[in-house]
Amino acid sequence: MSFEVLVIIILNVFFTYKGFNDYRFFEKFRFKISDIRNNESFRLISSGFLHVDNPHLIFNMITFYFFGDIVLNVFGTFWFICIYIGSLLLGNLFSLIIHRNKPNYSAVGASGAVTGILFSAILTYPDLKLALLFFPIPIPGYIFGLLYLAYTFYGMKNLNDGIGHSAHLGGAIGGILLSILLIPEIIIISFKSVILLLLVTIFGTFFYKK
């Protein structure tokens, strides 16, 4: 594991546990529509270092652990951090738009950033295959990405668990677009993955609105 990935994991663990043990801290830095509209835009970033519980934290950090170094090795430290923070920010901005008519909507999680890293890794390594604990047969990376998006759509429609499911979608868009911006050849190298993931992401957005 690289130093950069380790530092981001440590920051997430530190601030998450600070939030577990200090309710006022958690309330001050979580994503909440009404507070963001009240000039507390720092919540668009700070909420990405908080989590609702240990499973939420562990799932995000394990996913980040497996894919972070792939993106880091391709883009280098500076752009790796830009993709992470950029996906986090775009994910929360997407949530802000999706839930604009819900002033009391709130959420936390690094999911937008982690999803951006995940999708960046899938696009930069089109032959990437993943073997999951509950499904040991390796599957193509883009299939995993589609399954992840399907879970995101379900969470956006049906779950009210404090997890920023809509941020997954915005983070995915961020990871895809930022990767293409930095390496335009990705469109050719991973054409099938790019088209499939973008189409499903756009479709999911309209599906949620309905």
- Type of residue at 47: S
Q: What pLDDT is attached to residue 156? A: 64
Strands 31-32, 129-132: pairing is: unpaired
Rounded Cα distance between 175 and 186, Å, is 12
Q: What pLDDT is attached to residue 179? A: 94
- Type of residue at 209: K
Q: What's the rounded mean pLDDT across residues 10-29?
A: 97
Q: Which domains does the chain have, with CATH numbers?
A: 3-209 (1.20.1540.10)
**115, two tokens:** 């999803």
CB 16 within 8 A of CB 51: yes
- Closest to 205 in 3D by CA, of 90, 103, 40, 125: 90
**148, two tokens:** 């992840």
**147, two tokens:** 């399954």
Rounded Cα distance between 109 and 50, Å, is 5
Q: What is the pTM of this model?
A: 0.88
- Closest to 197 in 3D by CA, of 93, 109, 122: 122
Rounded Cα distance between 10 and 12, Å, is 5
- Type of residue at 195: I
Q: What pLDDT is attached to residue 163? A: 64
| 31-90 per-position pLDDT tens digit | 999 999 999 999 999 999 999 999 989 989 998 998 999 999 999 999 999 999 999 999
| 118-169 per-position pLDDT tens digit | 999 988 887 888 766 666 678 887 777 777 777 777 766 665 655 666 788 8
Q: What's the rounded mean pLDDT across residues 94-113?
A: 90
Q: What pLDDT is attached to residue 128? A: 81
